[in-house]
Structure 1
Amino acid sequence: MTDLNVHSGEATLAGEVRGDGPALVFLHAGVADRRMWDGVVETVAGTHRTVAYDRRGFGGTPPHKEAYSHTNDLLAVLDAAGISHATLVGCSQGGKVALDFTLAHPERVSALVLVAPAVGGAPAVDTFPQDVEALLEDLEAAEESEDLDRLNLLEARVWLDGVLGAEGRVQGDLRDLFVEMNGVALQAAPQVGEETPPPPAWPRLGEIAVPTLLVWGDLDFPHAQERCQTMSELIPDARGRVMHGTAHLPSFEDPESFSTLLTDFLTEVEQTDRP
């Protein structure tokens, strides 16, 4: 493993590079940092060059009070690592970064793997099932009271256990790591500058011209699952896969099963690209 420290604006983005071969860049969720990918990277670094980095205010990347662009930060990472084009693997907010970057710099992306991605401009959700609504109200109350410890535990309930899963479903090292990663992000959030928003991606999904894999868990928000299914139909060369018994972070919960989906997809894409 080689450390990667990338300057973008006033920020120094902390990352790491492993392995050799076609490039894979991993983009973490908004409740995690690059460590959420460790179980996957350990598997695929034998056949690929992997890059994982922490966005501003996450993990080893300190926050800065400056306007910034996630797209520009990712471009700086690719350039610093000497990567001309890569497969982007993004979860949740990391998936949004991957989508926005692909639309802005299509020549730098060879394929997309989107795990329960957020999407700019996606249809708004007006109503939730009653039990889900109650969880969201608890989250909102914790945010308003600025009780970060309680908020962290509630976010573990929502994003790790899943709104359709039992409370405390995921335990042990995974839960401890989630709470640690998300705790850093919650503490840093007030010091992160304002993001310059990219154009909404949802109306432009039909423009994505690279092979795309969408993955989601069946214990995630119902609207998130429906959105992934719709995206697999709107993106021209896309396919969708459900990971049963997982929630919003299926690649973190079950890296072995996710790695199988990922390597199968990469094999398909790379064989197609061969002359």
Structure 2
Amino acid sequence: MTMAMVEKGFVQVEGTKLYYETAGEGEPVLLVHGAFMTAAIWDSTVAALSDRYRTIRFDMRGMGRSKLGTTPYRSHEDMGRLLDALGAEAVHIVGLSAGGQLAAEFALAYPSRVKSLTLVAAGMFGIPETERKQADDAAFYEAAGRGDMEAALRLWTLRWLCGPGQPEERVDASVREAFAELSRAGLSGFATFEMPQLLDPPALGRLGDIAVPALVVVGDLDYDDALHAADTIAAAIPDCRMNVLKGCAHIPPMDRPEKFNGLLADFLESV
């Protein structure tokens, strides 16, 4: 990738500006990161795809370099305005974790603008959570709520990157440090963050309306919740294939980048 192929900047949406980066040329691929992360989560994916595609990534409202701005807001509308500004009419969309919920919402709200849908360790409101995940959520929010962001970051990295119950040494120290750094930026607006308004009726009950080819990816070391969500989503979308990555937790682009990016590239090529 050459610097001439990379574009960075801000796009005005309703009530704020979103930071974005594009790289490469070809069919556009929109990459949507998870909650309290940043566009940097996709570094390996951009490197893998930008010789054949135009990758588009951005920091969500209230995370990284994008300010929260006025509320309420809808993330799928933000994505639509971002694509309008960048001249991208129809895209392949890839969503990680909570970004999977938003990617599915975009596909339902703007079906003519989506060529394919990839949901990676996707969260989906309406799917029950296990007690273990709820307890880990509570521990994280307790640390963040008292302002101990270093403790919160450690909990965050252990559960999402390394995997629940996994030793931190499972993931290389440099990768753990990179994930903690981007998560620190993603969590910078935590104290004042407000959730987006979700699609109504909810996306979970409408997955059968998604008419484009879809790929669901989940790691076998992720929470049982994520594995159950992957099964539920893959069964509901008519044209959907599913892949379980061995030895991988919640962040495939950083945990198993070569395997994940290869799967994604093969899927995009097939559609």
Q: Normalising by structure 1, report the TM-score.
A: 0.90
For the pair 1:139 / 2:140, whether they are aligned, the reply is yes
Deviates most, 185-194 or 47-56:
185-194
Q: How many residue pairs get matched?
A: 265
Query: Considering only aligned residues, what root-mean-square deviation do their CA atoms show, in Å?
Result: 1.8
Report matched runs for 1:3-152 at 5 Å: 3-122=8-127, 124-128=128-132, 135-152=136-153
* SS in structure 2 of the partner of residue 242 of structure 1: strand
**Cα deviation per residue 1:151-170 (whole Å; 9 max; x = unaligned)?**
11101111111114223422
**Cα deviation per residue 1:12-46 (whole Å; 9 max; x = unaligned)?**
11111111111100001114211110111111110
Matched with 2:233 is 231
Q: Report the Cα offset of residue 252 of structure 1.
A: 2.0
Indicate if the aligned counterparts of 2:16 and 2:67 stay in contact, CA closer than 8 A. Answer: yes
* SS in structure 2 of the partner of residue 187 of structure 1: coil
Within 1, Cα distance between the matches of 2:14 and 2:188? 22
Within 1, Cα distance between the matches of 2:135 and 2:31? 33
1:133–1:234 CA distance, 2 compared to 1 (3 A): closer
Indicate if the aligned counterparts of 1:212 and 1:238 stay in contact, CA closer than 8 A. Answer: yes
Matching residue's letter, 1:127? E
Matched with 2:218 is 216
Structure 1 regions of 5+ residues with no counterpart? Answer: 270-275
Indicate if the aligned counterparts of 2:36 and 2:183 stay in contact, CA closer than 8 A. Answer: yes
1:56–1:228 CA distance, 2 compared to 1 (3 A): same
Within 2, Cα distance between the matches of 1:171 and 1:125? 29
Matched with 1:157 is 158
Matching residue's letter, 1:266? L
Matched with 2:254 is 252
Q: Report the Cα offset of residue 76 of structure 1.
A: 0.7
Indicate if the aligned counterparts of 1:4 and 1:17 stay in contact, CA closer than 8 A. Answer: no
* SS in structure 2 of the partner of residue 2 of structure 1: strand
Deviates most, 189-198 or 224-233:
189-198
Structure 2 regions of 5+ residues with no counterpart? Answer: 1-5
Deviates most, 152-161 or 188-197:
188-197
Deviates most, 36-45 or 178-187:
178-187
Within 1, Cα distance between the matches of 2:109 and 2:79? 11
Matching residue's letter, 1:229? D
**Cα deviation per residue 1:200-242 (whole Å; 9 max; x = unaligned)?**
1111111111100000111100121121022111110000001
Indicate if the aligned counterparts of 1:217 and 1:244 stay in contact, CA closer than 8 A. Answer: yes
Indicate if the aligned counterparts of 1:65 and 1:192 stay in contact, CA closer than 8 A. Answer: no
Indicate if the aligned counterparts of 2:64 and 2:187 stay in contact, CA closer than 8 A. Answer: no
Matching residue's letter, 2:237? I
Indicate if the aligned counterparts of 1:165 and 1:247 stay in contact, CA closer than 8 A. Answer: no
Deviates most, 192-201 or 213-222:
192-201
Matched with 1:273 is none
Within 2, Cα distance between the matches of 1:113 and 1:264? 12
Within 2, Cα distance between the matches of 1:187 and 1:229? 33
1:144–1:38 CA distance, 2 compared to 1 (3 A): closer
Q: Normalising by structure 2, report the TM-score.
A: 0.92
* SS in structure 1 of the partner of residue 171 of structure 2: coil
Matched with 1:196 is 197
